Amino acid sequence: MPEEISPELFDHLVDLAALELTPEEGDYLRRQMNNQLQAIHELVAIPLDAELAAASHGISYSKDMSAHIRKDDWIPNPDPGKLLQQAPETDDGYIIVPEIPHKELE
Amino acid sequence: MMDILELGAKDIVRFISRRELSARDVVEVHLSHIQKIDGISGSIEGDSSIEPDKVHAFITVTAERARRQADEVDRKIAAGESVGLLAGTPVTVKDIFCVDGTPSTAASRILSNFTAPYTATSVERMEAAGAVVLGKVNLDEFTYGSSSESSAFQPAPRNPWNTGHVPGGSSGGSAAAVAAYEGVLSLGTDTAGSIRQPAAFCGVVGLKPTYGRVSRYGLIAFGSSLDCPGPVARTTADAALMLKVIAGEDMRDSTSVTVPVPDYVAELENGVKGLRIGLSPDYFKITYIDAETGEIMEQAVPSDIKTAVIKAAELLEKQGAEIIDDVPMPHTKYGIPAYFVISRVEAASNLHRYDGVKYGYRAPNQVKTLNELYKKSRGQGFGLQPKLRILMGMYVSAAQYNEQYYNRALRVRSLIRRDFEEVFDQSGKFRLHALLTPTTPTTAFKVGGIYGDSVLMQYADQLTVTANHAGIPGISVPAGFDLEGLPIGIQFLGPDFSENILFKLGRSFELVTENETWRSIKPKFIRDNQ
């Protein structure tokens, strides 16, 4: 069967996904994507009624069973320092990252 | 020592409350057992082949934390204060849940240095009920798998019944720990069968609740419309008790529901008289794509698995249930193809938050720009399975393919849901209370047997994934062994919020088979200790 994900398309997706892959990883992942697409193509053959709606969840939420919405109140975090401790690099309460590239908009 | 290890949650709570046992004694017996049989815990530097005769259920054993919790239970009892439904019960937690102050890794390098700053609702409720958390157990990386082998923390868990075989996944550590008596209960998650499939492989009980029944707050997300936290236990009674504790509305999860939580335990012994149980030919076969030819193939489930299901139906019929044959479930075979699309789109969306900036792994290399930091951190931090899901999810949800793949998969999901609605409709033709099926198309496969083939691995979930698409509950209960001595699981699927009926069916099956020889067989780790 022809491969749906060509090497060029694959490289484009990898770039969009912000991933850096080894050549071996790239070979494996592209092959697996094409294999999975074969299975997915089974869906294309199913006759679907034009009225059939998409289901974003299995169960349908009625108003009386939906969770109550919280009040839109600002609640300060009890210990922001605990959250900042998880950041790989900080300085005086700021998270440090390398240079953020800028592009002049035309 | 063995007597304490073999106690169920109900007995532990009773003995501790009467001060016939202390919570500290119970936790020490379990910690000592873990030290004896679990072997080295999974780690980033670990080797998959080390100690192949151990269970390796854990990533982190939180022994001191567990002792403090046990001592608090004992203090409350001594002071005459009330204790909860799980007082002193040793439990484990799949390492996909945040637990304040503990490493919460999702079995991924990208979260290998992450310590959770808060606790998931389901864990919080168990701890408030007096449960003692022994530690965090291993899983497939970010739950992406059906064998637990894709964990970045090696060695991965092994099946306590035969350590040459996988425990299933992704809640493999949970099922292995419960089967090997390294805890009475475990909190798992089920996105396509990740509680029920490992429960079947390890000969324990696993329940996927109705979507929304248990809060997902504090669960590191995979497929947000599919993920369900739920119990893994050795008996339906213990699973029912645990669900009673963790179920219910949570203001911090808007998909949790306000439907009242029944007393699952009180209803457990009510019997199955009058319940209508369906058998469907669509659940006695699997359909898959041949990787070489692209042809759609069909294969019957092995005869020993089919026989176990039929025998269970006959036994339940003798207890007063009505068995309905030839129930059509025609869209079952589309469960996996639809899952390949929906779960990947949701996974890709959820994985974009990991970038090496705010928390988690950051590539140590010197980089010049933020974009480079993202690519290197994600490239080094994610294993193959998360990468595959990110790429696939982005592709099938891209604007030009959205209609062809993603929207179509969501509409096929409606068809799968409709199959269930029709057979559970109480004024329809079948009027079922539950469907009885095999849990899995095979028993536990060998370590390394299919790892790496992402398509074949996914088809291990073909008989369980439909419940996740439909949102309905399902339970797997042990039903004997195959010729190799590996456990067989049978599954009951029911309509929304019918967990009470599923527990009753499981309990009835336990009672009617309690004197069968296979019920007395225990994993070798337990036999060796006796």
Domain boundaries, chain A: 1-47
- Which residue from B67, B62, B55, B56 is spatially nearest to B26, judged by alpha carbons? B67
Tell if the CB–CB gap between A32 and B251 is shorter than 8 Å: no
Write down the mean pLDDT value for chain A.
92
Closest among B151, B434, B230 to B312, alpha carbons compared = B434
What is the pLDDT, as a whole number, of residue A1?
Answer: 60
The distance of A68 to chain B (nearest Cα, Å) reads 7
Selection from B505, B501, B491, B517 nearest residue B196 by Cα: B491
**Fold that domain A1-47 belongs to in CATH:** Histone, subunit A (1.10.20)
A87 closest CB neighbour out of B251, B358, B471:
B358
Please judge whether A87 and B357 are an interchain contact, meaning their C-beta atoms are less than 8 angstroms apart: yes
Residue A81 with chain B: CB contacts under 8 Å: none
- C-alpha distances (whole Å) from B53 to each of A60, B156, B159, B520, B524 are 46, 12, 10, 22, 10
Local confidence band at B530 (pLDDT 50, 70, 90 cut-offs):
low
Beta-carbon separation of B291 and A57 below 8 A = no
What would the mean pLDDT of B381-407 be, rounded to a whole number? 94
Q: Is B357–A38 a contact, with Cβ atoms under 8 angstroms apart?
A: no
Q: pLDDT tens digit string along B14-45?
A: 999 999 999 999 999 999 999 999 999 999 99
Min distance A106 CA to chain B CA atoms (Å): 21
Please indicate whether, in this complex, the C-beta atoms of A25 and B370 are within 8 angstroms of each other. no
Strand segments, DSSP code E, in B170-248 are: 185-190, 205-208, 228-233
Inter-chain touch A58–B259, beta carbons under 8 Å: no
**Which of B210, B220, B387, B424 has the highest number of chain A CBs within 10 A, making it the mutation to test binding with A?**
B387
pLDDT digits (tens, 9 = 90+) for A96-105: 999 888 888 8
B478 vs B516: CA distance, rounded Å? 12
Q: What is the pLDDT of residue B117?
A: 95
Indicate the DSSP class of residue B406: I
Which residues 4-63 of chain A have a CB within 8 Å of chain B? 5, 10, 13-14, 16-21, 25, 28-29, 32-33, 35-36, 38-44, 46, 48, 52-59, 61
Where do the structural domains in chain B lie, given as residue ranges?
2-268, 336-405
- Residues B336, B398: Cα–Cα separation, whole Å: 20
Kindly give, in sequence order, each residue whose CB lies less than 8 Å from that of residue A49, ignoring residues fewer than 6 positions away.
none
Which chain B positions have a beta carbon within 8 Å of A69's beta carbon? 254
* B170 belongs to the catalytic site: yes
- Quote the pLDDT of residue B2: 43
Q: Is the pLDDT of residue B527 over 90?
A: no
Name the phi and psi angles at B344, rounded to 5.
-70, -40
**pLDDT over 70 percentage in chain B:** 99
Q: Do B249 and A32 touch (CB under 8 A)?
A: no
Active-site choice (B94, B136, B208, B522): B94
Q: Which of B255, B296, B468 shows the shortest C-beta gap to A42?
A: B296
Q: Mean pLDDT over all residues of chain B?
A: 96
B356 touches B112 (CB < 8 A): no
Is residue B194 flagged as an active site residue?
yes
CA distance B387 to B347: 10
* Runs of H (alpha helix) within A1-106: 7-16, 23-40, 80-84
Rounded to an integer, the average pLDDT of B210-221 is 98
Q: Which of B256, B376, B405 sits opposite A40 (nearest CB)?
A: B405
Handedness of CA B240, B242, B245, B247 (dihedral sign): negative
- Of A62-71, B112-121, B411-420, where does mean pLDDT reach its minimum? A62-71
pLDDT the model gives residue B529: 62
pLDDT per residue over B227-254, tens digit each?
Answer: 999 999 999 999 999 999 999 999 999 9
Average pLDDT over residues B206-220: 98
A102 at interface of B, judged by CB pairs closer than 8 A: no
**Span B295-332, pLDDT tens digits:** 888 889 999 999 999 999 999 999 999 999 999 999 99
pLDDT computed for residue A102 by the predictor: 85
Cross-strand bridge partners of residue A99 = B369
pTM of the full structure = 0.97
CA–CA distance, B265 with B86 (Å, rounded to integer): 13
DSSP assigned state of B13: H
Q: What percent of chain B has pLDDT over 90?
A: 92
Residue A98: asked if its preceding bond is cis (omega within 30°), the reply is no
Please pick, among B112, B146, B194, B397, the residue that the annotation labels catalytic: B194
Q: What's the pLDDT tens digit per position in A3-26?
A: 899 999 999 999 999 999 999 999
Min Cα distance B405 → chain A (Å) is 8
Cβ distance of A17 and B210 shorter than 8 Å? no
CB pairs under 8 A between A and B: 202
Chain A hits for B455, Cβ within 8 Å: 32, 35-36, 38-39
Give the Cβ contact number of residue A6 at 10 Å: 12
CB contact under 8 A, A54 and B417: no
Provide mean pLDDT across the span B410-427. Answer: 98
Nearest CA in chain A to B252: A70
Residue B156 predicted with pLDDT over 70: yes
Among the listed residues B332, B57, B407, the one whose alpha carbon sits nearest the alpha carbon of residue B202: B57
Show residues of chain B in contact with A65, CB under 8 Å: 212, 257-259
Say whether A38 and B291 touch across the interface (CB within 8 A).
Answer: yes
pLDDT tens digits, one per residue of B475-519 = 999 999 999 999 999 999 999 999 999 999 999 999 999 999 999
CB contact (8 A) between residue B251 and residue A70: yes
Contact B212 A59 (CB under 8 A): yes
CATH top-level class of B2-268: alpha beta
**Average pLDDT of the segment spanning B173-182:** 98
The residue written with tokens 């074949």 in the block is B456
DSSP type of residue A78: S
| Best of B391, B455, B461 to mutate (most A CBs within 10 Å, chain A) | B391
Compare CB distances from B337 to A17, A42, A66 and report the shortest one's residue. A42
| pLDDT score at B1 | 44
> How many residues can be counted in chain A?
106
pLDDT at B467 over 80: yes
Instruction: Report the gap between the CA of B475 and the closest CA in chain A (Å).
Output: 17
Mean pLDDT value across residues B447-463: 85
**Nearest CA to B255 among B213, B193, B194?**
B213
Closest-CA residue of B relative to A1 is B294
Phi-psi region of B365 (alpha: psi -120 to 50; beta: other; left: phi over 0): beta
Q: In 3D, which of B489, B509, B502 has the Cα closest to residue B440? A: B489
Q: How confident is the model at residue B439 (pLDDT cuts 50, 70, 90)?
A: very high
